[in-house]
Amino acid sequence: DPALVQPRLNAMTSDVIKMFAYAARQHMQAHGTTPEHFAQVAYKNHRQSKHNPYASMQREFPESFIKDPKRTLSPPITLAMSAPTGDGSACAILCSEAFVRAHGLERTAVEIAAQAMVTDLPDSFTSFANITGYAMARRAAQQCFAASGLSIRDVDVLEVHDCFSCNEMFMYEALGLCPE
């Protein structure tokens, strides 16, 4: 099937890869980004994964492997710029401040200063970046910063979805860590 980016991948996976690849190409055209930039993000993630016992792949890959054109799924995305498909979960236990104090959890509790949920916007289908979530992430971040009175400068730790290294770079911009 010529629509598949790899014969072993199904149509849905191929379409998702292509969507992010198209967004990466638009970014490259608009901002001068290169495949090297996306490879550097992937390299950083793989380097850190070897220290994470919960990482799907706990090994560092050399940049030459990450950039290897033989491993291209859909330009500029290579296999090593992609997160492996996997199931995961997370849990957050929410409780009142009184509960935290009553159980001596002050040193370990995390306060939620703001939260926002944004879904499709009028501009969600105007670019591949927006189809992949850029505008929604930007709007949610703006809403959280406005509600909390904080700014990106107040953030010490940030975790973003890194299905593809290009998406991680898009999220840096959407959240205001760096300019577009």
57-95 pLDDT per residue, tens: 889 999 999 999 999 999 999 999 998 876 667 788 899
Kindly report, residue by residue over 110-167, the tens digit of the pLDDT: 888 999 999 988 888 999 999 999 999 999 999 999 999 999 999 988 888 889 999 9
Determine the Cα–Cα distance for residues 172 and 175; give it in Å rounded to an integer: 6
| pTM for the model | 0.87
Distances (CA, A) of 92 to 95, 98, 105, 160: 10, 17, 14, 17
Strand partners, 77: 74
Q: Which two tokens stand for residue 52?
A: 């994470």
